[in-house]
Amino acid sequence: MTSMLTRAVRNLPAASTWAARFSVRSLSSSSQLQAAAESKSKKTLTKSGVKNIVVVDGVRIPFLQSGTSYIDLMPHDLARAALQGLLYRTNVPKEAVDYIVYGTVIQEVKTSNVAREAALGAGFSDKTPSHTVTMACISSNQAMTTGVGLIAAGQCEAVVAGGVELMSDVPIRHSRKMRKTMLGLSRAKSMGQRLALISGIRPNYFAPELPAVAEFSTGEIMGHSADRLAAAFAVSRAEQDQYALRSHTLAKKAQDEGLLTDVVPFKVPGKDTVTKDNGIRPSSLEQMGKLRAAFVKPYGTVTAANSSFLTDGASAVLIMSEEKALAMGYKPKAYLRDFVYVSQDPKDQLLLGPTYATSKLLERAGLTMADIDAFEFHEAFAGQILANMKAMDSEWFAQNYIGRKTKVGAPPLEKFNNWGGSLSLGHPFGATGCRLVMAAAHRLKKGGGQYGLVAACAAGGQVNKIAGQPPPNRSLHVWAWERGSHGGDQKTPAYSLLLSVLSGSLAQSSPSPLEEAGSPSSSLSPCSAVALVCAVIILSLNPEDPACGDAGWPV
């Protein structure tokens, strides 16, 4: 596979061309985006007979580098803080929430169902069911789509979904031999049996077992995969450093301008209140260039500076049926329409999921790259992002690997992760998905775009993507799920999220109460909508959505 990917380089844009795209012009959003969106044809992602589901709002506590202010806490403490922040932001009555779903990757054994413990700690009723899901770096995406499924099936009207990760205190186990001995001691019925077990203990029994860093199915560390992928697509060290610097610069700008409105303050017990992410550190290419290879030594191109860092954090979003949200007087951020999951070879395509998922989602939605105004991709590694861009921009890759006659096209940088990404904001494995969705929704609302797309790769070669549409100045999300992994083919999913903002009318999946009431379009106020496709998520904004403004949505 690697050799075949290397051959694709002949058909990819020259390195100098890609380097030019990381110039200063990409550090701020283009002022022409809104005008371009208004000139585009109006498209919708509606499905007859499908219940309208919306994201009311979402929050996250500050994402911090592991080993800092959250070091003395437990995962459920962070998740509880996110839930409390969501309650404060939305003012939703706790009894109105029917279900709570949380995603996490490295589970704390004392709180195996972290969703339940966090919910109880946040003051939710003990009658509110809660469960935890895990799907590597797209765990909170899985939590959100699970919530959508519960609402679509008529089981719930309001679901809280979120994610949490605490890398400051990961579970460390005794060795397997020591565990076996200890269990034997607990079952021993006589002193002789106990002494026999104790006498069999050897020094190597005391070596601890750390959480696995390598992929279980391949035995390879993800950083090695990123380095090989960068080499296969001829992504240079300079390009990776330049992209990473871009991420930190944009994140710093967004933070200083108060654009990261999903962040809520968290009073850490016994410490000060944390109000902002602490991993944003714009440096210089000269300083970044001094770092040594982190994985493939000594000649690898992936370093600590162009990789996402270990992060502590938690996030939460409130998802409702449209009727429920309307009845409670909410002005949601997005409609949830569609989502897809795809799976790829975990060895050589571990981080290429967004390429496959983007192609699949756009085809499902009847959209092209030109229709997307806001891209939010998870930045595991700078090399992973750039390799996916080159793959999406390659006719050869499209024909030989995706089965397309033409390439899907690479996202333009002026629309891509404009407020920073995981390289700078941080990546708490289980919580990143919610951040991506809310970032896309807020960007669409602020920029007046039409569609947004969110994508994220995950361990095991998994990917999720989502697509959506919003009315003027309101964000809404939409999902449709399709799995591409099959038991025996060793393929795993990938994730991408497509968001959209419609400058025209937003047709509803089913008539909204406001449509049935004959609300005039002239009374509309700006709104935004979001659609999610697992492996791909789409969001959109629609100025003419009948469910806006004086017609029913609170302004």
**91: in domain:** no
Output the six-digit token pair for 165. Answer: 């990760």
Confidence band, pLDDT 50/70/90 cuts, at residue 72: very high
**Do 399 and 531 share a domain, yes or no?**
yes
What would the pLDDT profile of 120-173 be if each residue is shown by its tens digit? 999 999 999 999 999 989 999 999 999 999 999 999 999 999 999 999 998 888
Tokens encoding 361 = 């989602």
Active site residues: 137, 457
The per-residue pLDDT for 158 is 98
| pLDDT for the residue 254 | 98
Q: What angle do CA 302, 306, 310 make, to 5 degrees?
A: 100
Phi, psi of 469 (to 5 degrees): -135, 135
Q: Find the range with the poorest average confidence among 118-122, 441-445, 536-540.
A: 536-540
Mean pLDDT of 241-264: 98
The per-residue pLDDT for 15 is 42
What's the CA gap between 391 and 380, in Å, rounded? 16
- Higher pLDDT among residues 203 and 552, named by residue: 203
pLDDT confidence of residue 221:
84
- Residue 27 or 256, more confident: 256
In the chain, what are the helix, strand and coil shares in percent, each to the nearest 5? 35, 20, 45
Boundary of a domain, candidates 167, 184, 206:
206
> What is residue 350's predicted lDDT score, i.e. its pLDDT?
83
Q: According to the per-residue pLDDT averaged within each range, which of 110-124, 205-219, 530-544 is highest?
A: 110-124
pLDDT at 422: 98
Look up the CATH number of the domain holding residue 418: 3.40.47.10
DSSP 519: -
- 536, 542, 546, 552 alpha-carbon torsion, rounded to 10°: 90
Same domain, 383 and 530: yes
pLDDT digits (tens, 9 = 90+) for 272-330: 999 999 999 999 999 999 999 999 999 999 999 999 999 999 999 999 999 999 999 99
CB half-sphere exposure, 279, CA atoms < 13 A: 28
Q: Is residue 181 part of a domain?
A: yes
Query: What whole-number percentage of the chain has pLDDT above 90?
Result: 59
Q: Residue 503 — pLDDT band, cuts 50, 70, 90?
A: very low
- 465 pLDDT band (50/70/90 cuts)? low
Number of domains in the chain: 2
Q: Which of 190, 206, 222 is the last residue of a domain?
A: 206
Q: Where in 351-425 does DSSP place strands (E)?
A: 372-377
Provide the residue type at 191 as one letter.
M
Give the tokens for residue 205: 């029994």
Name the pairing type of β-strands 536-540 and 451-458: antiparallel
What's the half-sphere exposure (Cβ side, CA atoms, 13 Å) at 497? 37
Of 508 and 535, the one with more pLDDT: 535
Q: What are 106's two structure tokens? A: 């490295």
Is residue 529 situated within a structural domain?
yes
pLDDT at 338: 78
Angle at 100 between CA 99 and CA 103, to 5 degrees: 145
Residue 94, amino acid: K
pLDDT band at 34 (very low <50, low <70, confident <90, very high): very low
482 in any annotated domain: yes
Token reading at 74: 């437990």
Q: Residue 466: what pLDDT?
A: 61
Q: Is the pLDDT of residue 504 over 60?
A: no
pLDDT at 541: 57
d(CA 144, CA 456): 14
Q: Which long-range contacts (CB under 8 A, 24 or more apart) does 520-526 make?
A: 520/551, 521/546, 523/548, 523/549, 523/550, 523/551, 524/471, 524/472, 524/548, 524/549, 524/551, 525/472, 525/473, 525/474, 525/549, 525/550, 525/553, 525/555, 526/445, 526/471, 526/472, 526/473, 526/474
Structural domain boundaries, residue 182: 176-206
Q: Is the pLDDT of residue 527 over 90?
A: no
303 found inside a domain = no
Terminal CA-to-CA distance of the chain, rounded, Å? 53
Of 312, 309, 310, 308, which Cα lies nearest the Cα of 266?
312
In the chain, what percentage of residues exceed pLDDT 70?
74
Inside any domain, residue 423: yes
Q: What is the 3-state secondary structure (H, E, C) of 114-134?
A: HHHHHHHHCCCCCCCCEEEEC
Average pLDDT, the chain: 80
In tens, the pLDDT along 374-392 reads 999 999 999 999 999 999 9
What the block records as the tokens of 322 is 């449209």
- Do residue 188 and residue 336 come from a single domain? no
Q: What's the pLDDT tens digit per position in 175-209? A: 899 999 999 999 999 999 999 999 999 999 999 88
> Which band of pLDDT confidence, cut at 50, 70 and 90, is reported for residue 332?
confident
**What does the pLDDT read at residue 396?**
96
Establish if 471 belongs to a structural domain.
yes
CB 163 within 8 A of CB 434: yes
* 344 close to 491: Cβ distance less than 8 angstroms: yes
Residue 524 within any structural domain of the chain: yes
